[in-house]
Amino acid sequence: MRNHDVWFAIPSANPEKCRRTLRVWREYGYRTAVLVDDVMSHPADAFGADVTLRVSTYHGYAASVNTLCKTVVPKEFPIVVTGGDDMLPDPNHSADELAAQFLERFPDTFGVMQPHGDAYMASNRYCGSPFLGRAWFESMYGGRGGMYPGYHHNYADNELFWVARGMGALWERPDLSHFHEHFTRDGSAAPAYWDTVKKNDMRDCLLYYSRVHERFAGHEPLETPATRGRGFNASISLKEMLVLVEQRLLSVAMHNPFADAIAAALRRCKASGHDTVALYGFGLFTQSSAAALCEPPVRVACIIDDNESNQGRTPWGIPVVSRDEAMARGIKAVVLTGNSVQDRLWANSEVFRQRGIAVLRLDGKGEQSTTMQTAA
């Protein structure tokens, strides 16, 4: 067995297109794996992959890639390429040739290589079809996988680009080309799953925006010989990382998934008799939620933020205060509104729970993930 064998591993909901695309990848020497949603009635061999993994629930593109990398591709193979069933391999190099180049650049396999020869849809600003080294996808995000799994579809590849660059592990290859047969390229009809992508696009966009400002919280890798001493380059400018989302954010309406989540939480507070509430976190989640705070069903006494530079501000006439000051305001419940720092906020809110103040936790998708909890 050659140690340069490379797998092309993707999720797909289109067996006909997937079968055609995987055939081309195999012609260039790649092994293939596909993840499919179990709700589809197609037989496993309909997708034409060497290995087909069926899952009962589709958790999004990035989470699917992580699953394929970590559970389907055998441990002896050092490189996985991903993308979509509309992405074609570089026509001028075999899988083995590119693997040899990758391993020469990243002998410890802690790296990401992205062909950028096809510049369609500003592809040079994200990793839409990356080569992922095993040390990368086994160690990043605390060992959860090579990509942040919180996105449904869009912007996961933007985060991968900037996290890999920030870690000094990105090799951009304008000399290589993965042709993207996106349906918008020739005016073809959108695939059936695209409605779900559009439905989640703004949530994904807002998630990416907030994670940029948090320097992609939780991206840190497990400590291994390949990752020891590695850290994110904090000098990368926020503006540069936000180039592709600024125009999209200009179209954010008053009502968005973040505002809807806070509004739902405040309604639950009212139903539970908690008439004086604090929001915990003054990040993008809260800042994008004016619609929920114009006429809230309960009194929002304050916004708690641990960053002293935010304390003293009064957005919508609501003071931003410390945890200690919040408790002095007679609050009955706290709603955690941080987007990707929920675990940290939950730990910090122990002081409220100890005093019998209810705490409502939201997940990173802006949906209720736990019931309201109070101290025993």
pLDDT in tens, 226-256: 999 999 998 999 889 998 887 666 555 456 7
For the chain, the structural domain boundaries read 6-249, 257-360
pLDDT at position 73: 94
List the structure tokens of 28.
């260039």
Write the DSSP symbol of residue 73. Answer: S
Which CATH code is given to the segment(s) 6-249? 3.90.550
- CB atoms inside a 10 Å sphere around CB 40: 15
User: Which DSSP helix (H) or strand (E) runs through 7?
Assistant: strand 6-11
Going by C-alpha positions, the residue among 166, 167, 146 that lies closest to residue 156 is 146
What distance in Å separates the CA atoms of residue 351 and residue 145, rounded to the nearest whole number? Answer: 33
Residues 6+ apart with CB under 8 A from 41: none
Encode pLDDT of 129-164 as tens digits: 999 999 999 999 999 999 999 999 999 999 999 999
Q: Is the pLDDT of residue 179 over 80?
A: yes
What distance in Å separates the CA atoms of residue 280 and residue 66, rounded to the nearest whole number? Answer: 31
Max mean pLDDT among 2-16, 29-43, 84-98, 361-375 falls in 84-98
Write the DSSP symbol of residue 247. Answer: H
Relative orientation angle of helices 156-166 and 194-213, to the nearest 10 degrees: 30
Q: Taking the mean position of all CA atoms in its chain, how far away is CA 91?
A: 30
| Mean pLDDT for the chain overall | 88
257-360, superfamily in CATH?
A: NAD(P)-binding Rossmann-like Domain (3.40.50.720)
pLDDT at position 375: 36
Helix (H, G, I), strand (E, B) or coil at 366: coil
Q: Answer for the pair 321, 304: CB distance below 8 angstroms, yes or no.
A: yes
Encode pLDDT of 289-322 as tens digits: 877 887 889 999 999 999 888 899 888 889 999 9
Encode pLDDT of 87-122 as tens digits: 999 999 999 999 999 999 999 999 999 999 998 888
DSSP β-ladder status, 79-81 and 131-133: antiparallel
What distance in Å separates the CA atoms of residue 276 and residue 1, rounded to the nearest whole number? Answer: 66
pLDDT at position 134: 97
pLDDT confidence bin for 41, thresholds 50/70/90: low
Please provide the DSSP assignment of 221-248 as one string. Answer: PPP-TTTTT----TTS-HHHHTHHHHHH
Helix (H, G, I), strand (E, B) or coil at 322: coil
Encode pLDDT of 68-82 as tens digits: 999 999 999 999 999
Q: What would the mean pLDDT of 258-266 be, rounded to a whole number?
A: 88
Q: Is the pLDDT of residue 350 over 60?
A: yes
pLDDT confidence bin for 1, thresholds 50/70/90: very low
pLDDT at position 287: 80
Single-letter residue type at 47: F
- pLDDT > 90: percent of the chain: 65
Q: Is the pLDDT of residue 369 over 60?
A: no
Max CA distance (Å), the chain: 68
